[in-house]
Amino acid sequence: MSTKKSLFYTLTCLLLAIGNGFSQKKEIYPKNEFRAVWIATVVNIDWPKKGTDSIAKQKADYLEILNAYKKLNYNAVIVQIRSVGDAFYPSELAPWSRYLTGKEGQAPKDNFDFLGWMITEAHNRGFEFHAWLNPYRATFDTKIETLSPNHDFFKHRNWIIKYGEVGKEKYYYNPGLPEVQSHLTKVVEEIVQNYDIDAIHFDDYFYPYRVKGKEFNDSVSFKKYGNGLSLADWRRSNVNSFVKTIYSSIKNIKPWVQFGISPFGVWRNKSVDPKGSDTEAGQTNYDDLYADPLAWMDGRYIDYILPQLYWSIEHPKASYAKLLKWWSENTTTTNLYIGNSTYKIKTDSDKKWDNPMEIPNQIDLTRTYKNVQGNAFFSAKGFVNTNQDVTQLLQEKQYKYPALPYPVPSSMHIVVDIPMVNAIGIDSVNCFFSLSFPLNTKVRYIVVYGAKNDSKLDLNNPSQIIDKITVTQKSDAINISIPLSKLEKTKAFALTFIDYYGNESKEATVDLPKK
């Protein structure tokens, strides 16, 4: 499809969207928007490039990803820290991942805490850190000789079910066992308790994707725990109760930590359920994965939903445009973000992905829906030293300026404290600020705004966001510095707090001292 035709189609979609109750006037440069990237670690998709690489190289490669997306004005990373019953952190419940150290169960040199370091580096660049787990997938293949003796396959063999296409089988945790749910809840609790994360994130792997002619053999647990339900309803109930338990567990430990899920993009097809989307998906959340995002939202035990709409705008069987509209009309009580597939750019049988405007057009279309708060992109390598024509388009338009993520609905509140500047200093390189430590607010970031030349200060204008600085002090004063190069020609100046829930305080305006 030509760029001209693509733009015409997008404009048509925008006009149609304006006619429904979930649309809004297109905002070219929103100040508040979730912009995330998935960093996949399973089989070393994005990072580390090799489990056998040195720590120094792995650190450099991770920072390369962060810096690339910082340049693109992203504000969140979704980092996979458990993919196959393993861990990218020291755990009493799972062995070290071979994708990190080259051998499952082998610790990094000097027991280096990669996860703690990754979180700090992300926060230092203004990113939210969402810890991504695959709870139910136990292995990536059936080569048990590669597993650690401490893997649950050996410790709890009765928890594990083999399933998949012949020659491509994997082992999965049985979601129907209460002891599995309890164990996986402890896995999440360990992370939330020990690390300064912003969110726990699950993706689309609940019950495994259906394989024709194969049955997921949970008949024994169904007979024991089915309680009169049909098999399908029992499986959905297992997932629902697990999701609800995870939400409660997170909030009991750290109420500011979000819980988000990124389900497959189709809930149900309209041909099966009038409430479903106008799609012809071969598999769906409700009927095949036994995942029911509508129930999670109705039950209010999820903070954000991030459906994976990995199709082109005009796809004949699963149109991005149609699914975007469906999710906007069926999302309640949570933030709604949309998952986009940068991995398909110039590599897919659908030739719409050869058009560099496909992703920019999808972002523009997403922004026409007032209850959609942003996008996430799979996966990180899509925009690191590749697809430069697309990244240039984003830098010039859609992501020209920074943006701040919205707080999730259950966390919205007024930030009582306002930055109080006690001292300002300046030298040939930096401007230094000393602020009173807030008494009533747990502060994650300080946002610095500046209006250049004769412009008026406007905190709703993202072009005036100069910096987003992580707060590391725990008591007394907060000391920050800003390079003078970022303050060039700045006439009006202001600071705000962002708390751990994502809420922004009122501003404090300040005058810069003369050098």
What mean pLDDT do residues 205-215 have?
A: 97
The answer as to whether 167 is a domain residue is no
pLDDT reading at 194 higher than 80: yes
Per-residue pLDDT tens over the stretch 61-81 = 999 999 999 999 999 999 999
- The CATH number assigned to the domain holding 455 equals 2.60.40.10
Position 491 scores a pLDDT of: 83
Tens of pLDDT, residues 94-107:
999 999 999 999 99
pLDDT at 312: 98
257 within domain boundaries: yes
* Mean pLDDT across 19-42: 78
φ/ψ of residue 158, rounded to 5:
-75, -10
Q: Which residues contact 31 (CB under 8 A, 6 or more apart)?
A: 403, 404, 459, 460, 461, 462, 465
Asked if residue 405 and residue 261 are part of one domain, the reply reads yes
Question: Is 157 inside a domain boundary?
Answer: no
- Give yes or no: residues 452 and 487 share one domain: yes
Q: What is the mean pLDDT of residues 339-359?
A: 98
pLDDT at 16 over 60: no
Residues 453, 403 share a domain: no
Whether the predicted pLDDT of 137 surpasses 50? yes
Residue 172 has pLDDT above 70, yes or no: yes
Give the Cα separation of 261 and 459 in Å (integer). 31
Q: Averaged over 365-392, what is the pLDDT?
A: 98
Domain count, the chain: 2
Same domain (yes/no): 228, 362: yes
pLDDT in tens, 248-260: 999 999 999 999 9
Domain boundary among 385, 410, 435: 410
Which amino acid is located at 496 in the chain? T
Query: Do 64 and 120 sit in the same domain of this protein?
Result: yes
pLDDT of 515 = 62
- Say if CB 58 and CB 88 are below 8 A apart: no
Percent of the chain with pLDDT over 90: 90
157 phi and psi, to 5 degrees?
A: -60, -30
| Residue 168 covered by a domain | no
pLDDT score for 50: 97
Q: Among residues 410, 430, 445, which one ends one of the domains?
A: 410
Element housing 468 (H / E): strand 465-470
Mean pLDDT of 223-232: 98
Where a domain ends, among 368, 385, 410?
Answer: 410
In three-state secondary structure terms, 110 is helix
Structural domain for 33, as ranges: 3-140+175-410
Query: Does one domain contain both 366 and 468?
Result: no
Cα separation, 124 vs 138, in Å, equals: 33
Q: How confident is the model at residue 18 (pLDDT cuts 50, 70, 90)?
A: very low
pLDDT tens-digit readout, 405-463 = 999 999 999 999 999 999 999 999 999 999 999 999 999 999 999 998 778 999 999 99
- Distances in Å between the Cα of 354 and the Cα atoms of 3, 39, 81, 247, 321 are 10, 23, 32, 40, 18
